[in-house]
Amino acid sequence: MTSIVPLRDFVVRFTGLFERDLPVDAVQKEGAVLLRELVAHDNWLPEPFAQPNPERYTQYLLHCDPLERFSVVSFVWGPGQKTPLHDHRVWGLIGMLRGREAETQFVREPNGRFEPRETTVLTPGEVAILTPEVNDYHQVANALADQASISIHVYGANIGAVSRATYDPESGREKKFISGYSSSEIPNLWDRSRAAEAA
């Protein structure tokens, strides 16, 4: 049975990191621990935010901090789907909930071209960290050819409103984009009435 409680608890605890005035690297480090706990169990993501689109990967907003200090999204990958090479321009955490995700890091050479580096595969329960100007250029793909994969991402901004870019690896040509979100609704984290009635 799906219960939204783990996501609500995660949001509350992650918000608490900002109340402590931690530096960004500490928010990422402690936030990665919280995200690892969240994705250790696959029983909380509401079904509408786990649906693949047959044409392209989807990015569903699960929560955005009212001050836009962070956002939480579910990325749902259909079989074989992948992103173009892109950046984020804000810090990020990626937690694997279901399936497998292959991430290829790229390095920008002095001539502007991008060279692929290592490819890593995230499996359920694992978390990766993204930091601008450290490992911010990557391409991500569903590592499974026959089923959907789902990852939970946390970004240091309202990621759907951040101006970012995709890149042509050969020429280095940049194309700006703002991702937005794949749905116009978010989960209702704050309705505690059912739990109160059950008690």
In the chain, the domains with their CATH numbers are 5-182 (2.60.120.10)
Asked if pLDDT for residue 82 goes beyond 90, the answer is yes
* Percent of the chain's residues with pLDDT above 90: 91
pLDDT in tens, 94-119: 999 999 999 999 999 999 999 999 99
pLDDT for res 134: 85
* CA dist., res. 199 & res. 189, Å (int): 18
pTM here?
0.94
Res 199: pLDDT: 56
**pLDDT tops 90 at residue 89:** yes
pLDDT reported for residue 1: 57
Closest CA to 86 of 189, 169, 190: 169
* Cβ atoms of residues 102 and 57 within 8 Å: no
Nearby residues of 182 by Cβ (< 8 Å), 6 or more positions away? 53, 58, 59, 60
pLDDT at 195: 65
Q: In angstroms, rounded to a whole number, what is the distance separating the alpha carbons of residues 150 and 78? A: 9
Written as six digits, the tokens of 182 are 């794949």
**Of residues 1, 9, 54, the one with CA closest to residue 192:** 9
pLDDT, position 198: 57
Average pLDDT over residues 25-29: 97
The percent of residues in the chain predicted with pLDDT above 70, rounded, is 96
- The secondary structure of residue 86, as a DSSP letter, is B
Whether 27 shows a pLDDT value over 80: the answer reads yes
